[in-house]
């Protein structure tokens, strides 16, 4: 019946795979054939011996199997991964209007590369490899990605691996960062410059957060800027200053950019200077404390507040605490907005679902004594696609609302 390594899973896991999910947990496996090694690509069968898909196996991980394909005829060689690369890049060219200058080229499971992130910042590629199976096959994938981009006329000068994410430990992988050596790629670049929405940024892809710059808010920043003309804006958790700069250059009267990190403020200042912006000021302070201070002083000096906090939860165990954190920060913001003021607020945590986020916003609004008039609801940019059946790929919620 089977000529490749395989596992047999229980009915619960089978039902989820049939509904489009692509993970199998260790406790869902009923039988494992002899000889399987971690990192192998194995076939998955139901109890009735029906083929369900093929994927990476790793018994060291809670997610023991991550599906790559539901096609029993697939051969997982260099040509297979080259096709996957082409599909991923061609998708971005379609949804980003042909602009691949600053783009997430690979978004893990959503592109059939479980645990792989690849961002493009101009001529620089930055990757994160978070599964053993892909770590073992990166020498098939990275050259294919570079070559396909070059064939499309993209200049690729550097690929840097940001494998400093703790999730690698769950796969039995070490943390590391390194330049990838291939066909004349540089091993000396430490930062690059990009232009997004007409705004220039320095990107520190070695020391910056994640891969160096958050591309998923690209279109949300543009939407936020559309509300900014004539407004006095407070941009909370500014990081590299992206929302602040979009608003400042979008016609805001003034913008105050706030972050608790001095390094972030320094980077935001550098980006402001790079764009010749003179209607911004900067505060290195705790956002929660600042909003408390403004409320205590009854200072309603901002008529537009932007909240782009880091993820308050990365697991189901901390969702309740995260809910309270989001509620607290949004309540504080609503209390200092004047009637008719604007709020742009978001969550980048998958575990904080949209239903929970809306519930939180309503509770915060009621406690603040305001109503929120929703102008826009948005998600991550389309180069971070949502794969139906895999809710983990849907993570960013972004709302623009007026307090009335």
Rounded average pLDDT over 6-14: 97
* pLDDT recorded at residue 93: 97
What tokens does 15 get? 């039902």
Q: Does domain 78-193 have CATH number 3.30.43.10?
A: no
Catalytic residue from among 158, 236, 247, 348:
348
Asked if 6-69 and 214-403 have one fold, the answer is no
Q: How many residues are recorded in the chain?
A: 404
Domain limits of the chain?
Answer: 6-69, 78-193, 214-403
* pLDDT recorded at residue 1: 47
CA separation for the pair 270, 35 (Å, rounded): 55
Tens digit of each residue's pLDDT (9 = 90 or more) over 150-206: 999 999 999 999 999 999 999 999 999 999 999 999 999 999 999 999 999 999 999
Tell me if 218 sits within 8 A of 243, measured CB to CB: no
* pLDDT recorded at residue 310: 87
Residue 315 banded pLDDT, cuts 50, 70, 90 = confident
Would the pLDDT of 313 be above 90?
no
CA separation for the pair 217, 104 (Å, rounded): 11
What tokens does 103 get? 């783009």
Superfamily of domain 214-403: Vaccinia Virus protein VP39 (3.40.50.150)
Angle made by CA atoms 278, 283, 285, in degrees to the nearest 5: 170
3-state class of 32 per DSSP? strand
Read off the pTM.
0.94
Write the class of the CATH domain 6-69: mainly beta
Tens digit of each residue's pLDDT (9 = 90 or more) over 296-308: 998 889 999 999 9
346 is catalytic: no
CA separation for the pair 16, 24 (Å, rounded): 9
CA separation for the pair 170, 113 (Å, rounded): 17
C-alpha torsion sign, points 352, 125, 164, 24: positive
- pLDDT averaged over every residue in the chain: 96
Would the pLDDT of 316 be above 90?
no
Tens digit of each residue's pLDDT (9 = 90 or more) over 222-242: 999 999 999 999 999 999 999
CA separation for the pair 230, 255 (Å, rounded): 10
Percentage of residues in the chain having pLDDT higher than 90? 94
Percentage of residues in the chain having pLDDT higher than 70? 99
> What's the burial of 391, exposed, middle or buried (CB within 10 Å: 0-12/13-18/19+)?
middle
């Amino acid at each position: 019946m089977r000529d490749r390594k395989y596992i047999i899973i229980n009915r619960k896991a089978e039902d989820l795979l049939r509904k489009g999910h692509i993970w199998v947990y260790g406790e869902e496996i009923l039988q494992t054939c002899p000889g399987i090694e971690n990192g192998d690509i194995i076939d998955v069968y139901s109890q009735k011996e029906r083929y369900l898909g093929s994927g990476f196996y790793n018994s060291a991980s809670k997610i023991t199997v991550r599906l790559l394909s539901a096609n029993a005829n697939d051969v997982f060689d260099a040509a297979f991964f080259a096709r996957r690369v082409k599909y991923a890049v061609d998708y971005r060219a379609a949804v980003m209007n042909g602009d691949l200058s600053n783009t997430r080229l690979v978004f893990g499971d959503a592109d059939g590369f479980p645990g792989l992130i690849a961002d493009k910042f101009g001529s620089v590629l930055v990757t994160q490899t978070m599964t053993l199976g892909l770590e073992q096959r990166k020498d098939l994938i990275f050259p294919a990605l570079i070559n396909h981009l070059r064939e499309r006329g993209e200049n690729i000068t550097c690929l840097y691996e940001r494998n400093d994410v703790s999730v690698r430990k769950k796969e039995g992988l070490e943390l590391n960062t390194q330049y990838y050596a291939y066909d004349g790629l540089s091993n000396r670049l430490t930062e690059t410059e990009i232009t997004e929405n007409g705004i220039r940024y320095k990107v520190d892809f070695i020391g910056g957060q994640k891969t160096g710059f958050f591309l998923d808010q690209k279109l949300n920043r543009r939407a936020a800027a559309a509300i900014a003309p004539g407004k006095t804006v407070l941009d909370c958790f500014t990081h590299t200053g992206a929302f602040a700069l979009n608003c400042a250059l979008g016609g805001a009267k003034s913008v105050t950019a706030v972050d608790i990190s001095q390094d972030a403020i320094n980077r935001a200042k550098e980006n402001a200077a790079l764009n010749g912006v003179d209607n911004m000021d900067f505060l290195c302070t705790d956002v929660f404390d600042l909003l408390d201070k403004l409320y205590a002083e009854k200072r309603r000096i901002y008529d537009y507040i932007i909240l782009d906090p880091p993820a308050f939860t990365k697991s189901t165990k901390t969702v309740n605490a995260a809910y309270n954190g989001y509620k607290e920060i949004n309540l504080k913001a609503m209390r200092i907005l004047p009637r008719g003021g604007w709020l742009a607020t978001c969550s980048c945590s998958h575990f904080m679902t949209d239903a929970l986020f809306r519930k939180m916003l309503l509770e915060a609004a009621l406690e603040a004594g305001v109503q929120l008039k929703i102008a826009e609801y948005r998600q991550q940019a389309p180069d971070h696609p949502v794969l139906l059946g895999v809710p983990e790929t849907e993570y960013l919620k972004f709302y623009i609302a007026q307090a009335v």
